[in-house]
Amino acid sequence: MATGQLFSRNTQALFYNYKQLPIQRMLDFDFLCGRETPSVAGIINPGSEGFQKLFFGQEEIAIPVHSAIEAACSAHPTADVFINFASFRSAAASSMAALKQPTIRVVAIIAEGVPESDTKQLIAYARANNKVIIGPATVGGIQAGAFKIGDTAGTIDNIISCKLYRPGSVGFVSKSGGMSNELYNTIARVTDGIYEGIAIGGDVFPGSTLSDHVLRFNNIPQVKMMVVLGELGGRDEYSLVEALKEGKVHKPVVAWVSGTCARLFKSEVQFGHAGAKSGGEMESAQAKNEALREAGAVVPTSYEALEAAIKETFEKLAEEGKITPVPEVTPPQIPEDLKTAIKSGKVRAPTHIISTISDDRGEEPCYAGVPMSTIIERGYGVGDVISLLWFKRSLPRYCTQFIEICIMLCADHGPCVSGAHNSIVTARAGKDLVSSLVSGLLTIGPRFGGAIDDAARYFKDAYDRGLTPYEFVEGMKKKGIRVPGIGHRIKSRDNRDKRVQLLQQYAHTHFPSVKYMEYAVKVETYTLSKANNLVLNVDGAIGSLFLDLLAGSGMFTKQEIDEIVEIGYLNGLFVLARSIGLIGHTFDQKRLKQPLYRHPWEDVLYTK
């Protein structure tokens, strides 16, 4: 492996398995370091393509999303780092696919628990093809002031306190990602900071070893000293011992192997990492520390003394003139996300939508303040839900039952009415459910099912102004307006609409007042004197009875009633109800596998 520097200020990566936070942290680090281009060139999310919006400083950018590794590598040939956030189940396969791409030079595997046999195959392939693996079970790595992998070094605050926004003189390598953050901070306190830091991962078989990276640091001119943090278990540290003994490392190495406390336990101890388990005296922390000390590394007597050892080594190099002090720079301020700023009370921002009928922010959704569990426990029906979501209050049971009756009575009126006909024709054209439903709904209007609001509006105005049926009907006639809610193509004086009769019977039984309905019946009596089919239809019945429901319940002001009628609530009831029938007709045609509909030519009058 050896060679030298892995990353630079121009390094770009491909990020596998989209995770918003680590990618945004990489981009924030880029901005902090003054990079001109984002370090994430593309995202690979199997099964997805397009773009993902993220921030690069204050600027919002669109990062391409690819569905396959090959496509991403082809689209971004300069991206030579593959950051793999796949789960342990698929990390090996995706990592091998990346290693086989000629453009990929470094693969970082974040997942823990990758099967050891798979890891060995990855290591063998990488070594044979002169490629580098960081991980598995790693947080990644960082080159100060240039590039970082995923969540390496944690938050921006931690990165700033560790001075990782500009390069220092120390090369650092560790097995532990968590301890890396601790050591970045320690090193920043007593030296000019990190030049590059790598966490090789805590699995038994890491893709690259401690000595691999120390030998690499040895070839980087900017790295003046190395700090190594090992741990008990395995024999990785002994390869570094051999390198020191053979004189392959020419720069000071400060090292410590954690886990000396293991001897205090009577039985074998498994620490956090899979590889952190002593398999004999040679794998103990004490044995490794002693071997490193004998090989020439600076090894303190305890972890607590590690900081002092790092400081002393650095200061000695500075006195010898081998380290030139790094000029301090002030990093730019990272713009804070609006959500975070609002939560901390630093800013206030206007909302874009107002909602008063439901709230999904708590443990369970609420309809007009009523929790979903309460709706179920109290046995609420569809009418109750409509009363909450449409009228923002719990109406009496007779009101919600009337709503449900209206829905049942208006759900369908056969295949010949315009709405059902449209849905049937559309379904037979092979269109989907939504298209078939919408084609039927679009016919609803003043001539089909959309007269409920108008019927309520005109009946209410006439009644409230004290107009007699004669004055009302004749006044409408002079204006050239047909009376909404009156008249039917089929029904007549001798063939009444059963739906109207059922609604009237229910209202007489349950409503405290039916003054608007009685007025509508008087209007019907007058219109029937003119023509036999000018009966009160279902639109007129629902319109007038809904006025009685709103007024008689005592739960609405006059202004609220006028607003409900004006907005179109009552037509909404017909739209909701008839959707049931239109969906039924769509399913019926598809179930029957009916062919494309063509209207018969003999049913068309062709004329000049």
152: which 2 tokens?
């390496």
Query: Given this model, what pLDDT does residue 473 score?
Result: 95
CA distances from 134 to 94, 173, 179, 313 (A): 14, 11, 16, 28
Q: Which of 264-268, 344-348, 431-435 has the highest mean pLDDT?
A: 431-435
Report the number of secondary-structure helices (H) and strands (E) in the chain. 23, 16
C-alpha 267: how far from chain center: 46
DSSP-derived secondary structure for 317-339: HHHTT-SPPPPP-PPPPPPPPHH
DSSP β-bridge partners for residue 258: 231
Task: State mean pLDDT over 495-500.
Answer: 93
Residue with tokens 């050239």: 480
Whole-angstrom distance, CA of residue 506 vs CA of residue 402: 8
- Each residue of 86-121: pLDDT tens digit? 999 999 999 999 999 999 999 999 999 999 999 999
- Each residue of 163-182: pLDDT tens digit? 999 999 999 999 988 899 99
Q: Which domains does the chain have, with CATH numbers?
A: 12-320 (3.40.50.261), 411-592 (1.10.230.10)
Question: Positive or negative, the Cα torsion across 144, 145, 148, 153?
Answer: positive
DSSP β-bridge partners for residue 254: 227, 298
Query: Given this model, what pLDDT does residue 348 score?
Result: 84
Which of 92-106, 487-501, 579-593 bottoms out in mean pLDDT, i.e. has the lowest?
A: 487-501
The four Cα atoms 228, 207, 142, 181 give a dihedral, to 10 degrees, of -50
Q: 409 in helix, strand or coil?
A: helix
Percent of the chain with pLDDT over 70: 96
| 265: confidence class by pLDDT, cuts 50, 70, 90 | low
Are the C-beta atoms of 120 and 90 separated by less than 8 Å?
no
Q: What angle do CA 288, 178, 151 make, to 5 degrees?
A: 135
What is the identity of the amino acid at 597?
Y
Query: Given this model, what pLDDT does residue 327 score?
Result: 84
DSSP 8-class letter at 305? G
Q: What angle do CA 286, 289, 293 make, to 5 degrees?
A: 140
Helices 382-391, 397-410: crossing angle, 10 deg rounding: 100
Pairing of β 147-148 and β 170-174? unpaired
Assess whether pLDDT exceeds 80 at residue 281: no
CA distances from 596 to 206, 583, 584 (A): 64, 18, 18
Task: State mean pLDDT over 68-74.
Answer: 98
DSSP 8-class letter at 433? H
Whole-angstrom distance, CA of residue 76 vs CA of residue 71: 9
Whole-angstrom distance, CA of residue 433 vs CA of residue 454: 30
Exposed/middle/buried for 398, CB within 10 Å: 0-12, 13-18, 19+? middle
Which of 38-52, 279-293, 389-403 bottoms out in mean pLDDT, i.e. has the lowest?
A: 279-293
- Whether the pTM exceeds 0.75: the reply is no
Residue with tokens 């439903």: 437
300: which 2 tokens?
């303190």
Q: Say which residue, 553 or 340, is predicted with more confidence.
A: 553
Query: Given this model, what pLDDT does residue 269 score?
Result: 59
Q: 204 in helix, strand or coil?
A: coil
Whole-angstrom distance, CA of residue 48 vs CA of residue 65: 7
Which of 62-66, 99-103, 174-178, 258-262 bottoms out in mean pLDDT, i.e. has the lowest?
A: 258-262
The length of the chain, given as a count of residues = 608
Task: State mean pLDDT over 202-225.
Answer: 95
C-alpha 143: how far from chain center: 31
- Each residue of 442-463: pLDDT tens digit? 999 877 877 888 999 999 999 9
Are the C-beta atoms of 123 and 200 separated by less than 8 Å?
no
Assess whether pLDDT exceeds 90 at residue 342: no
Long-range contacts of residues 262-265, Cβ cutoff 8 Å, at least 24 apart: 262/232
Question: Catalytic positions, please?
Answer: 273
Residues near 323 by Cβ (< 8 Å), separated by ≥ 6?
169, 192, 224, 314, 317
Whole-angstrom distance, CA of residue 350 vs CA of residue 56: 24
Residue with tokens 């007699």: 468
Percent of the chain with pLDDT over 90: 85
Exposed/middle/buried for 433, CB within 10 Å: 0-12, 13-18, 19+? middle
| 276: confidence class by pLDDT, cuts 50, 70, 90 | very low
276: which 2 tokens?
């952190």
Assess whether pLDDT exceeds 70 at residue 264: no
Work out the end-to-end distance of the chain between its first and last CA atoms, rounded to an integer number of angstroms. Answer: 89
Q: 458 in helix, strand or coil?
A: helix
Q: What angle do CA 489, 490, 494 make, to 5 degrees?
A: 125
Which of 7-16, 273-282, 374-383, 468-477 bottoms out in mean pLDDT, i.e. has the lowest?
A: 273-282
Q: Say which residue, 266 or 343, is predicted with more confidence.
A: 343
Whole-angstrom distance, CA of residue 269 vs CA of residue 285: 12
